[in-house]
Structures are given as C-alpha cells and as structure tokens.
Structure 1
Amino acid sequence: LFDYLPGASVMLDDQVTPQRLSRWEAIEDQYDARIEALKARSGHDTVYKPADPHLLYLDDAAWEGRVSDLRVLQLSALPQATGPGVTDAGGRIGRDFAPERQQENISLFEALADHIKAGRAEGQVVIASYSTGARERLQALLEDQEIADAKLIDDFRDVPDGSGGLFLMIWALEHGFTGRGLTVISEQDVLGDRLIRAPRRKRRAENFLTEHQTLSPGDLIVHVDHGVGRYLGLKVVTALGAAHECLLLEYAGGDRLYLPVENIELLSRFGHEEGMLDKLGGGAWQSKKAKLKARIREIADRLIRVAAERHLRKGRILEPPHAMWEAFSARFPYEETDDQLSAIEDVMTDLSSGTPMDRLICGDVGFGKTEVAMRAAFVAAMSGVQVAVIAPTTLLARQHYKSFAERFRGFPVEVRQLSRFVSAKEAAATRDGLARGTVDIVVGTHAVLAKSVRIKELGLLVIDEEQHFGVAHKERLKELRSDVHVLTLTATPIPRTLQLSLTGVRDLSIIGTPPIDRLAIRTYVSEFDTVTIREALLREHYRGGQSFFVVPRIADLPEIEAFLRDEVPEVTFSVAHGQMAAGELDDRMNAFYDGKYDVLLATTIVESGLDIPTANTMIVHRADMFGLAQLYQIRGRVGRAKTRAYAYLTTKPRGRLTPTAEKRLRVLGSLDSLGAGFTLASQDLDIRGAGNLVGEEQSGQVREVGYELYQSMLEEAIAKIRAGELEGLIDDDAQWAPTINLGVPVLIPDDYVPDLDVRLGLYRRLSSLHTKVELEGFAAELIDRFGKLPREVNTLLLVVRIKEECKKAGIARLDGGPRGATIQFHNDKFANPAGLVEFIQDQRGMAKVKDNKIVVRRDWKRDSDKIKGAFAIARDLAVKAKAVAKAPG
C-alpha cells in the first residue's frame, strides 16, 4: 500500500503497534522453527524450505522508516492528556445496563427512563434497535414508562441539532456511546446479548443446489442431445460480430461443441466416476436414454405408491396452546432466520395436517436444526402424545438431553434420557414412565429402539443424523414410522435420503443461514508436517482455546500421543475412543468440556454432536482414510462460536492418495462457505454414485447417463404420474432449448465477475429462472454483489427472456440481424397452424415461409431494436401457440 499510495495519510488505532510487533514476533518464531526442523531432518525428508521473512514483511525498523515521512492520525479509545498534537473529540463508551439486568430489586426500564431523561437534558438521544420488531418492543416499553414522544427515523443524519429529542432507529449497533450533545443507546446495552442473525433471501432447495454445483475444466458432463462429453472451460467466441460466451465441450475423437451460456440447462454433471465419451452425432447416446425410460417408469411408480400410502394414512392432528407456544418460542435466545422460520412453519403445517409427517431438515452444524425439533416436540407434548428423540451416539444423546431439559424447564413436560450413561435403576424408571405415559419426551440412542421399550402413545419421532444408524436399527425405525410424525435432522444427508427429498417423496426444508458472526472454517489440506501442526495447536492454546486431534483408528493413538508429548509439550491432552468404559469416556469428555485439557485426542467418536464453543482447531490425521460426510461432520465440531476456526486435513508424508480420496479432500477443501452440507451431499452423490432409490442395488443405467440427468428424468416422471399423464412419461421433446443469435454481446464480463467458478454458477442459476420477476430479482442480486450491471449482462438477461418466449412458442432457433429475423420451429411443427397463418397475415407482407422457416423482414438499426423486435415476435408467436385454433364455420 505504501508503494501504491505514496504520500497518503495513515489512520491507525491504538492496537496497531502491539499487534504489528506481535505478528512480526510470530513470523520470526515460525521461521526459526522451520530452520530447526530442517536441521533435524535429512535432506530427502524436508517438506518446506522457508524464505527469510525480511524479504516478505516489514520489520519494526522498516515500518518506522516508511511511515516517518507520512501524516499519521492515531486514534485512542482511552482519554489522553490534551496538548500539542492531541485532540479530545468528546466520544465516550455508553452506559451498559448489565447491573440493572442482574438485580431483581432494581427496575431495568425505570433506570433506562432516567438515563434517557438525563441525556435529553443535555442533547439528543438515539436508541438503536436490530430490527423493526425490536424497535416496536422498545417503543412499547418506553410508553409503559410514560415516554410516548419518541420519533421513528431511518437515518442517523435525520437527528437534528439541539436538545430534548428522542429517536428510535434500526441500526445494528453493538454498544452505545456519548458525545457532545448526543447520547446513543443500543438495544444490546439494555437487553443484553440477544444474538441477531442477518436476513437472507429465501432459497428453494433446487436453487441452493444449482448455485453451489460448479463445473471444473476436465469434468465429465452430459448434454441432453449429445451425451457424455468433457467440459474444457468457458470461451468467448465471436458470432455475427458480437462476443458470446460459450461452454467448450469435447467428445470422442476430439470433436468439439460450443454451447451458448444461456443454454447451460442442457448440461448436467456426469459425476466424478470416469466414463466413456460419446461420439458427437452418433446414435449410441439415444439408445442409452431409451433403455433408461422403462427403468425410470418402474421406480417412479414405486416411489409414488410409497408416498401415496403415507398420505392415505391418518395421523394425529397436533396443535399447541397459543399462549404457551408464544412463551416457549420467546425463550429462544436468538432471532430466527428466514430459513429457520420457514422450516418451523413447514413442520407446524405438517403436524396439524392430519397426515403423518415425514420431513427432512437439512442444515449445517450449529445452524438451528435442534430448535426446530424442540418446537415440534413442544407441540407434540402439549397435544398429549409422547416424543422420542434418537441420536446415533451416547455423547450426542446426552447433549440433546441437556438442551431439551434446559429448554423445557418450567413447562409441564417430563424429559428423560435413555442411553448407556444412565444407571440401570434410572433406565428402568424411564421405561416404566414411557409405558405408563408419564414421560413426555425421551432422548436417547438406539436403546430407545429396543423391543423392551414400550411407548404408550408415541406421536413424534425425531431422528438425528440417520446415516449413522445400522441396518437393524433402520428397520426398527421403519416399524415405528408407520403412523407417527417423523422429523429427520441432518447436516449431510445420505444420497438416498437426499434423492427421496429432491423427488418430492419426502418433504425437505433447508436451513442454509449461519448464526450472526459465524465465520467459515479455514481448511488446509497437506501432508503431515510437524512444524505446522505444532504451530496450529500452540496458536489455539495461546488464544485460550482448545483443539481436537482425530485419528481414523485406535491403533493410531499411540503414535500421536508420542507426537504430542515430544513435539508439543506445552499443551495438556486427553485420549478418548469408543472402546472405553462408559464411565471413563464420560469423565474424559466432561473434563475436556470443562476446559481441563487443551487437546482431545480421539477417534471418530467426536464425529457427531459435540458442542464445545471453545474448541476451534481441528487436526485430522490420515484424512484420506475418512469418508466425505465423516470429514465434514468432524470438521463441524469446531467453528461453533464467533472465533475463527481452523481445520488441518493431513495425509501421509510422501504417500500416494487414491483418486477417490484425493477428490474427497479436494471437495472438502473447496467447501469453505457456511451452510455447505447440502452441497456436500450432492457432491457425495457424484463420488459414491447414486444408489437405487427403492433398493440396495446400483443402477448401471444411472452411471451411463449421469446422476443429474437421471434425477431430472425421475422428477419429470413423478410429476407426470401425479398429474395423471401416463403416456409419454419421459418426453424427449421437453428437454430442448431454443438457440438465439442476434449478433449482440451475451456474457458476464470477466472484469465484472472475475472468479470463473462464480461466473459459471451464475450462468447455472440463470438457466433455472423462467419469469420476469425471477430475472429482476437475479439482476438486483447481481447489483448488490458486484455493482452496476454492464451492458453485456443486461443483454444476457434480455436474451434469456426472449428464450423463454421462444420455448413457449416452440421456436427452436431465432436468428436476427439488421434486416429482420429467421425463425425455425422445433421438429418443424407449430402447435396452432391456424394461429401461425394469422401471424403471417398480421405482418402485412413483411413475413413469409421459406424452406420450413419463417422469415420476418424488419429494419433494425441498433442492437436495442433487434432485442425488442425479437422479443415482440417471440411473444406474439407464444400467444398464438397457446390459443386454441378456431374450428372452421
């Protein structure tokens, strides 16, 4: 920055110098550690050779030399003695009402009212709230204190000069402050840490999937007409003198196909398995698709039958008492996200429908799935039925039990647990209470599924992380499921579960919005390196946090124990694995939870459910030996607080990875966005292959056409069966896209969206939009994210609108130029021949039929004329195609 902005003024706060010196010290320490490690190793074992930090960073002397000639403004939060070069701007930290909140004999709101009156006597008072609802609540509380003259404002600049005013505004301010003639009070100052999450656009499950599935050069794809090819990248070509971005595809024999980006919906991902490229223009591809049709029909029929049987069964209608429901909901210490509210609403609708619920809640770890389950459990318990909450591990079950017991305290609901951590006497009492109906909610492991456990009136079954249950337990779950409401929670649904949800056989709600201040986990994939791991563990230790060190096998524990003792003696650690006695394991987990150890060295027992906010570093030894969903769940044990979390996925030094393991680690390393569990499940479908939906056998046809196309064909078949369209279940004519060529630039410029993966994701999103409202929303989102729309993007959006009208009209190709347009219909057919004759007559000699094409003459001097004219022609033909042809006479 000093080089790019010579002579600039520099503004520094009072923490810059200590942080700068601390950072330089850490860099030097790391350099010295690397040098020592190099000396201790033989030459062929070295992994990293460090560069001298003076070549890369400014040390203290170099820094002082660079800033000495610049104007420096130093800010300080603490009062300073005034004098030459020191100015007191008058700002001070505002009042925190924490003491009043904690003392029952002091009225919090009376104290607030007194503070407001004092502030108004000296100047203006502004109260900042996080949301409209919070502002209204504060306004009502002030009116209770006989302060009814507060004015609502939208902008801080609306506060006038003077004194005596009181203003309420929406402003996400953490703490208030005072200045000359001004008092600002934040909602958090008054009510405490009520965590507010930022609002997010609601997203349908399909859109979430589309947006996050990107292609990389070299990936295999499936073109609906041409079959399996290889995606080589985005390429801008010139068509009729204008730039047009296309996807470059390669087929057998080196043949290439350029697919316009606006027709990207014709492509689907083949998956990560290797496959044979099809011959461009050959007949083998159509033969493969034909073979799959009968299989799809059979699967669709069976799925519909399963869903129909569920809907025909009667389920108990569950509805909570309104006042108690409001009181229970108000106990939630966060502001619900749109996703969470939507999921809760979905569940409430299901419970009151009279049909047994079967809903999957997919949300990342810590995103609030448990709260949805608690709301459902509350409704069930208050409606007089019993609830079973089942988790795959004793640790997760115990954690759920603690959460449920705390949340339901004070309500007439009996919550008990059933797992190996419970004494025999307590377990017997719980089983007796379940049989007699006195236990309302039982939380436990598969112990709840035992034949000896009788639940008098089971109304709701909550299953957490179903993929971890064995076959026998899943069969028992099926028995329990027959006529009860079922809610399944997961961060990474197994492929079959996800397929059932995406095809509409099972209902799906996605919670994709992270808590406020949640930071994405920084993930590093590398060979095991002593210096890096030591530094990671010590960094967490010195910032007061804890770390997990996970190994794939119990046999790996002694090696890592020796590593921790010899290489990181500064930290304390404890060992945990599933073969320990229940009591010993419980003691060790509790000790780690209580902060008595810096590091927990464990097997995959930490995979599910441990919620330790102070643990924010994860080391995974031999990560190549874990499954993708396993790694994702393990990584999710950290990063559950506001602190930045780090995950190190290590592999064997100088070892070769299998192709599948390499893909797995590459995928996980790239999934650094929050809420990526749903994306991960779809990636897992690709890597593992899609199992048959209604059986265990793999479908060879699925592997031949690729999972996404299989999914698309299945969804279409299910929709048609539901609509009663039994003929032409898989309609090839439905899977085509118009080609539009107007000689205008159609692309998202790389200087507008530089990241190629993001650009490709936007193209995929765009291909799924079909209405003017959806396109306008997409345009607004682009402006929010990247700035004002360039001309090329506006043109792209208009071409997509023309394409939609062409699809309605059955136009396969529309070519436009200065002198008009040429139109060719799909399969050389128009849905309403009489309407087409009317269209030609309406053109008054400016349109004619030539070689199975319609030629429309126009005088289009500018690109905008071509776009408007082409849209008008396509729209008119779409209207004619839709109209019923009039019978003669």
Structure 2
Amino acid sequence: MSFPFVCRRGQALPAGGPAAGNSQIFGPGRAGPPVGSFGRLSWNKAKARVKKAVERIAQELLDLYARRSLTKGFAFSPRDQLFKEFEAGFPYEETPDQLRAIEEVLSDMEAEKPMDRLVCGDVGYGKTEVALRAAFKTAMDGKQVAFLVPTTVLAEQHYQTMVRRFDGYPLDVRILSRFKSPKEQKQILADLAAGKVDVVVGTHRLLQKDLQFRDLGLIIVDEEQRFGVTHKERLKTLRTQVDSLTLTATPIPRTLHLSLSGIRDLSTIETPPEERQSIRTYIVRFEEDKIVEAVQRELQRGGQVFFVHNRVHNIEAMAFYLRKILPQARIGVAHGQLPAHELERVMRQFVHRELDLLVCTTIIESGLDIPSANTIIINQADRLGLAQMYQLRGRVGRSRERAYAYLLISGESTLTRDAQKRLKVLMDFSELGAGFKIALHDLQIRGGGNLLGTSQSGHIAAVGYEFYIEMLEQAINGLKGERIEAEWEPEVRIRAAALIPEAYIPATGQRLSVYKRLGSTPDEDRLMEIAGELKDRFGPIPPELDNLLKIISLKIKMKPLGVQRLELLEREMALIFSPQGDWNLDRLIELVRREPRTYQFKGEGKLLVALGEKPDLLEAAGQFLTRLRILID
C-alpha cells in the first residue's frame, strides 16, 4: 500500500508513491526516494527511468537464457564410487542446505543444457565445498576447470584448499596470479593450452584473451559483482558455452527466486555449520590497554589475531606501535602494495602459524579462511562500509571457538550519522546468518548494491529497494510471456495535511519506521493496534497524524470495493472505480435510481456523492464506504 499525501500550496509533502510504502527500503542518505515539489511528477519520472533500466536487465538475462537453451552442452557422467570417496573426505558434517545445493549443482551438470547456477550463502557457510565437488566431477570427466576469484590472497587460499582436498587423486591444480613470475605464468599458459592442467585458480588474469584452454568444462566465479564490466562481458560469453557456477554472499530476495526460475538457477545455503558460534562484537575507543587485553586473551588460548588498519601509508608505523605494546607477539604486515613474493611469504607465515598477529588492510576481506584466527581488531571501523565490516568480521569464528570482533573508533563525537548507523547495525545483527539483514540495512544506509552481478545502486536509490525488485520481477515475467495483472493502488485526494509531524516523533529513523509499518498495514484491526501503540509511546495523536490514519483506513476499505480514487471536496465526494477493480455495477445503478439527489454517475466508472452541510469529510467518506460494502455484499 502507498500512502496518499496531498500538497497544500507552498508546502511539499510526499504524494502517492515513494515515501508512502511502495518501498520499504530507501536509497542512500535519504529518508526516502526523492520527491519533487508536487511529488507525483518527480516520482513518475523516476519510475519511468528505472522501468527502462530493469527492462534492459531483464532482456539481458533472457537473451543469455535463450542462447544457453539453444546450445548443447556437455552432460557429465553420473556420480560413481570414486566421487563418493571424494565426498567422504570432507572433514565436516554437511548442512542440509549445503547438501541440497550440491545435489542441485550436480544434477545441472549431468544435464545437456549448460549450467548457470548461483549459490548464495552467508560467509563461512560452506559455498567453497559445493564448488570443489563440481570441480572434482568436471576434472575427473576429463574437462578443465577455471576458478575465478577477486583477490590474489583469496586465490592462494583456494589453491591451497584444492591441493589439500584433491590430494591422492590424479589431478593437476595450478594457480595463476601475480605471485607467479612471468616465466612461471608462461609455462602455466602453455600447459593449459596443452590440456596438462586440470584446475586453474586465479584472478581476472584468467579472463585475458591470451589464455587458451584445451577443453574448458566449468567456470567457477567467487563474488562476481567485484569484477569490472569488461570481465563480466567475457564471462557472459563463456557462460553460453560451458557450465558456470557463481558463489556469492550477496542475498537475493526470495520473491525474485520465483521470477528467475528457469533463467538463472539459484541455490541458497541458510543453515550454519554445526557447532558454529556467533561472533561477539564490541565497539571500543582506541586505547592501548584494551588492544593489549584483546590480543593477549586470544594468544593465551593458542589463537591468532587480525589487526585491520586500512591505511597503507602508515601501516608500518601501526605495526611498530603494536610491536612496542605487545613485545611477546610475532607480528607481520600484509597489504596489496607489497611485492608479490613478500605478500605471499607473510600470508604463508600466518597460515602456518609462524605469526601471532597480522597487521593488514582489507585485502583479507574476501573469503579468507584461517580457523585458528578468532579475534579481529578493526581500526577506524567507522570509515568502512557496512558490508565490508561484515565481511571482515566473517574472517574469524570459522571454527568451534568463540570469536571476538573489536571495532575501534577515535570517539563517538567524531562519528558521522551514517557511521553510527553502520556500527549499530553490526552490533544488532551478530547472530549467525545475519548477512541478509545486514545487506538490506546496507541498502538503506548506502543505497548501493550489486544484484545478479549488475550494478543498480542509482536505480534502487530512485525508487526504493522493494519497489525496484517488484519492477524487475514484472519485467522478467512479462518477457517470459506470463500474464501480468495491472497493479493499482487506491488514492485519496483531500485538501488537508496528512503526515507524522516532526514535533510528535522527532527522530527521523523512528518516524520512517512508523511510516513503513503504516504502509504495510493489512487491515483496520492492525491499524488500530498501531494507533494505540503510538498514543502510548508518544502521547495524544495530533490532527495531521489523525488525518493520515483515517486516509489509510479509507484505502483499506477502497481496494476490495474497486475504488481507485476518492476525491473529497467541500460538500461532495467523487469515487472513481478501477477498470481492474472488482466492483458491482448493478448494485451501484440500483443505488443511484433509489436516491438520485444523493448519488449520480458522471461518465464511465465515476460516482458523485452529495454530502451535508460542513461535514467531517474523512469521517463521512469512511461511513459511506462501510455502507457501500454492506450494500454490495
């Protein structure tokens, strides 16, 4: 439901669409999508612009689907005893969601149509193992695998994991990254072209045109949205030819799953690994004794610590300071500007537990899995984005041990409002599987977003997240040839202010939250509950809010009657019925014949109702709609 607001001359109020609950999650730094001086014109322009964009995205998805449907892929062999032995080598108990995702991926691979599956799951929920089983099946059937990751450090980790998991099987696994010398890279390229390499893991280097596979069968992409436009275009071409598996921690709304059915297949992993504990998160000021206490606690239980300092120019100075206050700790430094051999050496030392504390930039953000590291200290946490902080926090707590995250800030007085919101959300959502909620809050604070590998933050900001998803669903369903029911929302026009006054609820966040709840009110009982709650919390209902509540009540009554618009004038009101609405023409004609002085038709679908002297317009409209409901029923 969207709220109907009207504009009095000289005063701009939301009108009909954006702030009114069409969308529950708004764009960056706003109380809601932007509204022009008289609201509706600006809203309609934004909606038209975004509609074009979502239709283009939907068309791209369907074009890709059509090309895949016409292409005959390779049908991999059914699972045999060797594959079952490989599965048994997994040292953990698979979660139900993980098993389902594995089954869906392998079933896709056994079909002739090229696979294009997206596996969506929170950090540390076992997406990598799903990919490894697909890679094993591909390589054992004589095809090659390309495993594409966004960072060199993550490439190294996935390489080590694959070497460990594929140990004992006749598979050649290589890594192609800047850690390798030009001579080594040249040799790997030659071996790939000759078919000597079964699995290669690397960064965007794998997408360059000089790289040729002898017989590529599967491409695995970790966090596709972190790659550039050129790389995505290359991926798009590859997807129509070979099986494709994408791993992401970015949540895809459930409703969108249905629309994408048959276009891009989705698997979700929502159950956490057994015995995994939530991460205890603290916001503390940068103080020496607190840092020392946090590090010593971790070292005393035999663990390791990440210290994130995202400033390369003075990271060595920070490492010097930490060595001074923690003389017993073995400390290393890692960041993206280090020479490749030096970065590799430091990361290997940390993985092999030759270092106790790693001072690093956000280079560790993506997918790094070091079970012995269970404390992370993030310096100047208020300068990082919400999703980034969540990913960093996910680097710890990947074993049975309780993990701790310390977010260091210089002082509350220096924090921006957005930084305060980000830190609060991270504190509020510390439970397992909170990634979905955090991503939605990130959209609210930042308005950013990559969905299905396409950047859409500007469009989301224009109309709000949920309305954007709704438009995308409609565009996809329309192009699929499915019948789309034309959506319509009741609208009330009255010359009166209808809003929540700032003086009544001063906090913008609280006021927005109430608008959101009112916008999704399903019936009048729930509306009365919310009104009672507001009265208890904030005091007597002011006239403007009372008007708003009455208008929402009218809209709840209007929809089942098929009334699209209600215009309230001084002594009469006009009801305009929707062509898509469920309204009873015969009963309305009977009403007009019986009381012609009170009721009359003005053109098709418009009923005029005469009112008495100086009526309370909203009250009178409510009483009439109730009477009309009884008459029609």
Q: Calculate the TM-score normalised by the size of structure 1.
A: 0.52
In structure 2, the CA distance between the partners of 1:276 and 1:516, relative to structure 1 (3 Å rule), is closer
Gaps of at least 5 residues in structure 2 are 492-509, 523-554, 565-574, 592-598, 601-606, 609-628
Q: Secondary structure at the match of 1:322?
A: coil
CA deviation string 1:814-857 (max 9, x = no partner): xxxxxxxxxx99759864859989xx9xxxxxxxxx9999xxxx
Tell me the residue number matched to 2:124.
Answer: 366
In structure 2, the CA distance between the partners of 1:295 and 1:548, relative to structure 1 (3 Å rule), is same
Give the C-alpha shift of residue 629 in structure 1: 2.6
The question of 1:490 aligning with 2:248 is answered: yes
1:322 to 67, 71, 79: 79
CA deviation string 1:269-289 (max 9, x = no partner): 22442257999xx99444344
Tell me the residue number matched to 1:305.
Answer: 59
Give the C-alpha shift of residue 398 in structure 1: 2.0
Contact 2:285 2:408 in 1 (8 A): yes
CA distance in 1, matches of 2:441, 2:258: 14
The question of 1:295 aligning with 2:56 is answered: no
CA distance in 1, matches of 2:559, 2:272: 38
CA distance in 1, matches of 2:56, 2:186: 42
Contact 1:830 1:836 in 2 (8 A): no
Tell me the residue number matched to 2:463.
Answer: 705
CA distance in 1, matches of 2:306, 2:183: 34
1:269 to 8, 25, 29: 25
Q: Secondary structure at the match of 1:462?
A: strand
Contact 2:307 2:358 in 1 (8 A): yes
Give the C-alpha shift of residue 423 in structure 1: 5.5
CA distance in 1, matches of 2:49, 2:459: 9
Tell me the residue number matched to 2:370.
Answer: 612
CA deviation string 1:409-438 (max 9, x = no partner): 344443222223345565444322321223
Contact 2:332 2:358 in 1 (8 A): yes
Give the C-alpha shift of residue 310 in structure 1: 1.6
CA distance in 1, matches of 2:314, 2:150: 24
Give the C-alpha shift of residue 546 in structure 1: 1.2
1:537 to 295, 305, 329: 295
Give 2:76's aligned amino acid. Answer: E
Contact 1:387 1:461 in 2 (8 A): yes
Give 1:322's aligned amino acid. Answer: R
CA distance in 2, matches of 1:453, 1:554: 32
Tell me the residue number matched to 1:59.
Answer: none
Give the C-alpha shift of residue 640 in structure 1: 0.6
In structure 2, the CA distance between the partners of 1:706 and 1:608, relative to structure 1 (3 Å rule), is closer
CA distance in 1, matches of 2:452, 2:164: 40
1:796-811 alignment to 2 at 5 Å? Answer: none
Tell me the residue number matched to 1:637.
Answer: 395
Tell me the residue number matched to 1:224.
Answer: 2
Comparing 515-524 and 344-353, the one that deviates more:
344-353
1:508-523 alignment to 2 at 5 Å? Answer: 508-523=266-281
CA distance in 2, matches of 1:736, 1:338: 44
Give the C-alpha shift of residue 718 in structure 1: 2.7
Tell me the residue number matched to 1:657.
Answer: 415
Which structure: larger Rg? 1
CA distance in 1, matches of 2:190, 2:243: 23
The question of 1:567 aligning with 2:325 is answered: yes
Give the C-alpha shift of residue 267 in structure 1: 5.5
Give the C-alpha shift of residue 368 in structure 1: 0.5
In structure 2, the CA distance between the partners of 1:808 and 1:418, relative to structure 1 (3 Å rule), is farther
CA deviation string 1:53-87 (max 9, x = no partner): xxxxxxxxxxxxxxxxxxxxxxxxxxxxxxxxxxx
Contact 2:144 2:218 in 1 (8 A): yes
Q: How many residues align?
A: 539
CA deviation string 1:329-365 (max 9, x = no partner): 3333333223223322332343344443333222222
Give 2:243's aligned amino acid. Answer: H
In structure 2, the CA distance between the partners of 1:322 and 1:442, relative to structure 1 (3 Å rule), is same
Contact 2:55 2:472 in 1 (8 A): no
1:783-794 alignment to 2 at 5 Å? Answer: none
Contact 1:492 1:680 in 2 (8 A): no
CA distance in 1, matches of 2:386, 2:55: 32
Contact 2:2 2:21 in 1 (8 A): no
Contact 1:310 1:355 in 2 (8 A): no
CA distance in 2, matches of 1:449, 1:731: 43
CA distance in 1, matches of 2:325, 2:314: 17
Contact 2:281 2:406 in 1 (8 A): yes
The question of 1:462 aligning with 2:208 is answered: no
Give the C-alpha shift of residue 482 in structure 1: 4.2
Give 1:459's aligned amino acid. Answer: G
CA distance in 1, matches of 2:175, 2:254: 29
Q: Secondary structure at the match of 1:268?
A: coil
Contact 2:490 2:563 in 1 (8 A): no
In structure 2, the CA distance between the partners of 1:641 and 1:808, relative to structure 1 (3 Å rule), is farther
Gaps of at least 5 residues in structure 1 are 1-222, 230-251, 258-263, 738-755, 769-802, 813-823, 841-849, 854-873, 881-889
CA deviation string 1:306-340 (max 9, x = no partner): 12222222151433333244333333333322322
1:568-607 alignment to 2 at 5 Å? Answer: 568-607=326-365
CA distance in 2, matches of 1:685, 1:287: 25
Give 1:731's aligned amino acid. Answer: A
CA deviation string 1:508-562 (max 9, x = no partner): 3321211111111111223312222121111111122111111011223233223
Give the C-alpha shift of residue 705 in structure 1: 3.2
Give the C-alpha shift of residue 630 in structure 1: 2.3
In structure 2, the CA distance between the partners of 1:607 and 1:830, relative to structure 1 (3 Å rule), is closer
CA distance in 2, matches of 1:694, 1:291: 25
CA distance in 2, matches of 1:689, 1:827: 34
CA deviation string 1:555-614 (max 9, x = no partner): 232332233233233323222222333333222222222222221112222222332111
Contact 2:377 2:406 in 1 (8 A): yes
Contact 1:320 1:383 in 2 (8 A): yes
Contact 1:350 1:357 in 2 (8 A): yes
Give the C-alpha shift of residue 688 in structure 1: 3.1
Contact 1:340 1:368 in 2 (8 A): yes
CA distance in 2, matches of 1:416, 1:391: 14
Contact 1:392 1:464 in 2 (8 A): yes
Give the C-alpha shift of residue 639 in structure 1: 0.7
CA distance in 2, matches of 1:662, 1:506: 37
Q: Calculate the TM-score normalised by the size of structure 2.
A: 0.71
Tell me the residue number matched to 2:102.
Answer: 344
Give the C-alpha shift of residue 297 in structure 1: 4.1
Give 2:2's aligned amino acid. Answer: V
Tell me the residue number matched to 2:196.
Answer: 438
Give 1:224's aligned amino acid. Answer: S
2:161 to 384, 392, 403: 403
Superposed CA RMSD in Å reads 5.0
CA deviation string 1:701-735 (max 9, x = no partner): 7544323223223322332332355xxx79342x5
> Larger relative CO (CA 8 A, sep 6+): 1 or 2?
2
Contact 1:316 1:459 in 2 (8 A): no
In structure 2, the CA distance between the partners of 1:502 and 1:303, relative to structure 1 (3 Å rule), is farther
Give 2:201's aligned amino acid. Answer: V
Q: Secondary structure at the match of 2:366?
A: coil
